[in-house]
Amino acid sequence: MKYLKLTELYEQLDSTTKRLEKTKILSDFLKEIKIEEKDILYLLLGRIYPEYDERVLGISSQLAVKAISKATGVNSAEIVKEWKSLGDIGQVAEKISKKKRQATLDKKELSVKKVIENLRAIPELVGKGTVDKKLALITELLTSASPLESKYLIRTLIGDLRIGTQESTIRDAIASAFFEKEKEKDAKETSDSIQEALDKSNDIAEVFEIATKQDLKLLRKIPLEIGKPVKLMLAQKALDIPDGFRALGTPCAIEYKYDGFRMLIHKKGDKVFLYTRRLENVTSQFPEIIDYVKKYTKGESLMIDAEAVGFNKKTKEYRPFQEISQRIKRKYDIEKIQEELPVELNVFDVIYYNGKSLIDEPFKKRSELVRSIIEEKPYKIVCAKQIITDSEKKAEEFYKKALADNQEGIMMKNLDAPYQSGRRVGHMLKMKPNQRELDLVITGAEYGTGKRSGWMSSFIVSCQDGDEFLEIGKVGTGIKEKSEEGLSFEELTKKLTPLIKKEKGRTVEIKPKLVVSITYQEIQKSPTYNSGFALRFPRVTVLRPDRDTADIATLQEIQEDYDIQQKKKVY
């Protein structure tokens, strides 16, 4: 397929904000893709590999400027000036390439195959001369590109496609393109089957290929594979213990809700792989966990769901997430930080064991298996603390014990429920004292003045509604002026600067990547923000490097929290 055809599709998708229109446009396009061209599905999401694959382009905006300059002969300073004016480096590439001065006698028509080949060569480059080699690969494409192709090449390179399309849109387009008859009978079953395949494989091109056979049974049979992470099952909220019992039935399992970070662990023979809930491979960051899994788990192959919790080596007291979160991203001095910030692995589920998927087995059976395959070693690897009860009194006592042990609260689980990866499910509920907390993503900021000059000091946070991010408030409290006191304005500014999409005066638009936990006094109706809501007295509590935009609060959840809040006021 010609790359121009794909970029024309991008333009069509960008021209409408209506989800149904985007789905129809994508559905028609998917019918034209040949099986051997399935990698186009990655490009539809601005990627070049499946979601679980760690290889990324990693091209900075500054390198993109150099590439545009080299391909067009236009001075970098002029490109930067245009960028500040337009706020979109992709549009700059399009505008400048219309009047590029460099001779292009050897210009060739770009194919999608050629684009993918060059882009996939970029992450493989290491060592001396890497930057020049990357520039050569990008320049080769830009030299042959039309203005429209230049626009989307640059946007793809910097990871900012801007067409308002996410995996869920493509999922619905696949359903429309290949399962029209089934969709008419049971739209939810069709959508759920495709979503389940996506959650298990994390490979949209693989799901597309199977979907072209127009057989939902084949999608349901996508296997779990060691070394290929699945999306983790997520919980909804319980107001209190009676509310949890009403929703789940009795008896139910109650476990500690640990103040750590989720970890999906794969083991096959002597090989162990560690993944975060964002599907990031963190195997090299936690050598002690690899050792624990090898020594203290039974079975040739397994996938276990667990929480890594930090503790004080001297006092053995558990430590809050923010104190150990730095281990997730740490690439160097691993042994030193391992000594300073040790973790205990708390295992609470198993979804694959000795070659067999267990996701359709009831939680009671999976939980019993966990306890039979883990040899518990306190402060190394243990099974999650658990009771099974229908007594509100016992549940309340267990809840208080979890809080006394410096954990967040409790999880309540239906004993008969399967494991539903990638979804917030009603058969697993979380309960903690501070229910007025949301995970949100930063989508904008404003630079400070006076002693905060040079730092971003006020941040717009957003929730998610389908493929859109909707603003719900502005927050500046909870952040420190000195880095030694905790999360600082300086640290946030450094993390957000590479994500700037557009600048206007002191305000900037931010690519939605950085997730933060926010506490608040209450949710209010508000015309100020496009979500229709605002948070009263919001406060940043911690960065969540273990979470991405798929984990943030949805508009529906905020509406539900608002409704619950209003009912409490009435009573």
Cα Rg, the chain, nearest whole Å: 25
Tokens standing for residue 461: 């946070």
How far is it, in rounded angstroms, from Cα 57 to Cα 54? 10
How far is it, in rounded angstroms, from Cα 167 to Cα 187? 17
How far is it, in rounded angstroms, from Cα 350 to Cα 372? 11
Pair 444, 564: CB distance under 8 Å:
no
The residues that bridge with 245 in the sheet, in sequence order, are none
Is 257 tagged catalytic? yes
Quick one: DSSP state of residue 568? H
**Closest to 441 in 3D by CA, of 550, 357, 308:** 550
The residues that bridge with 526 in the sheet, in sequence order, are none
3-state helix vs strand vs coil in the chain, percent to 5: 40, 25, 35
SS3 sequence, 206-250?
Answer: HHHHHHCCCCHHHHHCCCCECCECCCCCEEEECCCHHHHHHHHCC
How far is it, in rounded angstroms, from Cα 456 to Cα 216? 49
How far is it, in rounded angstroms, from Cα 469 to Cα 448? 24
**Closest to 108 in 3D by CA, of 140, 135, 136:** 140
- How many Cβ atoms are within 10 Å of 90's Cβ, its own excluded? 24
Pair 362, 330: CB distance under 8 Å:
no
- How many Cβ atoms are within 10 Å of 193's Cβ, its own excluded? 21
**Closest to 323 in 3D by CA, of 306, 307, 339, 340:** 340
Pair 282, 328: CB distance under 8 Å:
yes
Which entry of 228, 231, 257, 267 is annotated as an active-site residue?
257
How far is it, in rounded angstroms, from Cα 520 to Cα 306? 29
Pair 425, 234: CB distance under 8 Å:
yes
For 231, counting Cβ atoms within 10 Å of its Cβ (0-12 exposed, 13-18 middle, 19+ buried), the class is buried
Helix axes 187-201, 204-211, angle to 10 degrees: 140
Query: Tokens 């979907």 sit at which residue?
Result: 211
3-state secondary structure of 155: helix
Q: Looking at the annotation, which residues are catalytic?
A: 257
